Amino acid sequence: MKVKVNQDACIGCGACAAICDNVFEINDEGLSVAKVEVVEEKDHQDVVDAVDSCPTGAIEVEE
């Protein structure tokens, strides 16, 4: 699974980083960025949960 955050859509609520800090972090501009391009197997469910929790649909995943 690949992941990226659409910076134009993210509002910096922090939900994704709270759910999965292995993958998401809030940068100096207050927006979420993916720390990895390819998500490890163990983090897949957390990333799916983050996608479901994102209020703006900013997290894009690709199988």
- Helix H or strand E segment including 60: strand 59-62
Could you say which of 12, 22, 36, 44 contacts ligand SF4 (CB under 6 A)? 12
Could you say which of 1, 2, 16, 22 contacts ligand SF4 (CB under 6 A)? 16
- Our CB check for ligand SF4 shows the closer of 11 and 40 to be 11
- For the CB of residue 16, give the shortest distance to ligand SF4 in the complex, in Å: 3
Note whether 47 binds ligand SF4 by CB under 6 A: no
Note whether 13 binds ligand SF4 by CB under 6 A: yes
- Distance from C-alpha of 43 to C-alpha of 28, rounded to nearest angstrom: 24
Query: Within the chain, how many helices (H) and strands (E) appear?
Result: 2, 4
Per-residue tokens: 56: 């703006």
